Amino acid sequence: MSIKQELENLVAQIKKTPSDLKLRRDYADKLLENGYFEECLQEYKHLVNIFKEDAELFYNIGIAHERLKHFEQAEQAYKKAVDLNPTDSDFHYNLGYLYDQQGKVEQAIQEYHNALELNDEDQSACFNLAYLYSSLNQSENAIKYYLAAIELNSEDVYAHFDLAYEYKKQGDTDKALKKYMDVIRISPDYSWAYYNIASIYYEQGNIDEALSYIKKTVELNPKDIQAIKSFTNLAISQNALDLALNTLENLIINNPEDGNVHYYIAQVYKRFKEYEDALFHLNKALEFKDNLNISEAKIVEEISEVKNTNK
């Protein structure tokens, strides 16, 4: 039976027995569960006029208003739910998340702490606390709660990734590197992790490893212009021109209309002194300029320079 049919059946039953409040509540809950937020609010408003001390009803009203971006009404409903039942961790978490969405950081932090006091296994509260502490540049607190989040869910790739960022921010590159390695163990296609690993290896002077990991970044995310630029510049600086050319040519096969990739291929051909090929790709970069990350004026200037060099 489809959701629409279920709802229609509930409406038919309510019409037969309009005084059946449990049935009406089931209907309201089903509406909420399936994204009919305006409709469920009408039902819940009727029910809370009867069950004025039912915290769960106010909580559900808060959810519906939040999904509709009615933040003021959602806050009122969540606060009412908390007042009626202050020991429910979900009520505090949702209120905290609502504050979080509005940029009310201090209030959000307080409610996440309230949620954790009631349920110390709330992994989402740990992660969100860590993220907020990071936004306040409170790295020690951020690290504490990222570690707590990982303790509760060792496969949370985002917690590992953000924890690595905090370690790097503190200058602890060994711990950062280890965490980024955890990220690609859990999620082998996480291109940003490869990029950050490459950056650490580059800073440490381990150029071969840096090239290897940034090449992987480019392969996984051919739209990451910063990675393509970094890879090209690093490969050129290390005279790894064949590696750069092979990688970029493979990218262009799957992205023939990416002006940025054409531009960076041209840079490699210029190093090879293959000026006709460089001109071809510079002109292609201009042809596919809609997503170009380099100014047209710069490319036009380079075309002129290459033509003069090739005379």
Q: Which of 154, 210, 214, 216 is nearest to 179 (CA)?
A: 154
Q: What is the CATH number of domain 222-311?
A: 1.25.40.10
Domain boundaries, the chain: 1-85, 222-311
Q: Taking residues 273-291, what's their average pLDDT?
A: 91
Q: Taking residues 106-111, what's their average pLDDT?
A: 98
Taking phi over 0 as left and psi of -120 to 50 as alpha, with beta for the rest, 177 belongs to alpha
Quote the pLDDT of residue 308: 87
Report residue 12's pLDDT band, with 50, 70 and 90 as the boundaries. Answer: confident
pLDDT digits (tens, 9 = 90+) for 34-73: 999 999 999 999 999 999 999 999 999 999 999 999 999 9
Q: Which of 13, 38, 37, 36 is nearest to 24 (CA)?
A: 13
Determine the distance from the C-alpha atom of residue 19 to the mean position of all C-alpha atoms in its chain, rounded to a whole number.
Answer: 46
pLDDT surpassing 80 at residue 310: no
pLDDT surpassing 90 at residue 267: yes
pLDDT surpassing 80 at residue 1: no
CA distance 66 to 89: 18
**270 exposed, middle or buried (CB, 10 Å; 0-12, 13-18, 19+)?**
buried
CA distance 277 to 241: 14
pLDDT surpassing 80 at residue 179: yes
Q: Which of 6-10, 207-211, 298-302 has the lowest mean pLDDT?
A: 6-10
Quote the pLDDT of residue 209: 95
Q: Taking residues 172-178, what's their average pLDDT?
A: 96
pTM for the model stands at: 0.84
Q: Which CATH homologous superfamily contains domain 1-85? A: Tetratricopeptide repeat domain (1.25.40.10)
Report residue 311's pLDDT band, with 50, 70 and 90 as the boundaries. Answer: low
Percentage, residues of the chain above pLDDT 70: 99
Quote the pLDDT of residue 269: 94
Quote the pLDDT of residue 17: 86
Quote the pLDDT of residue 96: 98
At how many degrees (to 10) do helices 21-33 and 55-67 cross?
Answer: 30
For residue 46, CA distances in Å to 14, 49, 110, 204 come to 14, 6, 32, 65
Query: How many CB atoms are closer than 10 A to CB 287?
Result: 11
Quote the pLDDT of residue 154: 97
Mean pLDDT computed over every residue of the chain:
93
CA distance 202 to 213: 10
Same fold for the pair 1-85 and 222-311:
yes
Q: What are phi and psi for residue 51, nearest 5 degrees?
A: -105, 75
Q: Enumerate the H helices of the chain as residue ranges.
A: 3-16, 21-33, 37-48, 55-67, 71-84, 89-101, 105-118, 123-135, 139-152, 157-169, 173-186, 191-203, 207-220, 225-237, 241-254, 259-272, 275-287, 296-309
At how many degrees (to 10) do helices 173-186 and 157-169 cross?
Answer: 160
CA distance 111 to 89: 9
Structure tokens given for 102: 């509005």
